[in-house]
Structure 1
Amino acid sequence: EEMRMEEFGKIREQEVFEAITCGEIIKEYENDKPYPSMLIYHFRKLKDTAKPKLADLTGGII
């Protein structure tokens, strides 16, 4: 439910993967049960929608 109301849209699986593989571990919680957990920081790059697409520049001919 909380993800549906996210200010920047849904969090996609690819973004989670990037955060886990490229993010910075802020804090580790080794005593969490049933499994240890951690807080990871990763800056999500927003798509630049202001740039025209190649098809727009070529009149649809690529």
Structure 2
Amino acid sequence: MQGINFIVDDQSKKIAVVIDLEKYGELWEDFYDNLLVTQRKDEPRESLESVKASLLKQGKLSEHG
């Protein structure tokens, strides 16, 4: 596939890939976002109310919006 090259080891096993970001930059962003989601899926969640309260306390959010 043009714009995608595989790096192989001594046994011709694919171990890495080089992607032409000019051609496939948006695809790479989607792939990377998916990796982040997968990596963080077991992290603790914080409620919207908790986030709002923290932002209010830090002065980064006003009471009215």
User: Same fold by TM (over 0.5)?
Assistant: no
Between Structure 1 and Structure 2, the one with more helix by share is: 2
- TM-score (ref. length: structure 2): 0.19
Larger RCO, structure (CA 8 Å, separation 6 or more): 1
- TM-score (ref. length: structure 1): 0.20
